[in-house]
Amino acid sequence: TMAQLLQAPTKRYEDAIVVPAITAENFELKHGLLTLVQNKQFFGHDKEDPHAHVRYFNKITSTLKFLNVPNTSIKLMLFPFSLEGAARICLEKEPPRSIFT
């Protein structure tokens, strides 16, 4: 049941990506930004170029500037949204709290 799922232990089920604490007040990523990132997702297919994906992702995130929010934090928050399929599964198999940059 849903009640049982909510009581399930979450220890050791943390995300692989560690996003540094953000001290800015009222910071949020807008829906349009998430959509922009998701419109060019990387699936991990043989014919896809992972380097091109990272270049595109860096191009998008390099345009973002938020007061008291490091660009690295924004990239770490957004990157999982840029993956789907086999690429997302690969990320989810990484050990908890193992990716800092």
Is residue 40 a part of any domain in this protein?
Answer: yes
Domain count, the chain: 1
Q: Can you tell me which residue has the tokens 């990506």?
A: 17
pLDDT tens for 30-41 read 999 999 999 999
Give the single-character DSSP code of 93.
T
Is residue 8 a part of any domain in this protein?
Answer: no
Give me the domain span that covers residue 74: 27-101
pTM of the model: 0.82
For residue 49, what pLDDT is reported? Answer: 98
Q: Please state, in angstroms and as integers, the Cα–Cα distance from residue 40 to each residue in 4, 19, 97, following that order.
A: 36, 22, 25
Is residue 32 a part of any domain in this protein?
Answer: yes
For residue 34, what pLDDT is reported? Answer: 93
For residue 1, what pLDDT is reported? Answer: 60
| Segments of the chain with pLDDT less than 50 | none
For residue 4, what pLDDT is reported? Answer: 62
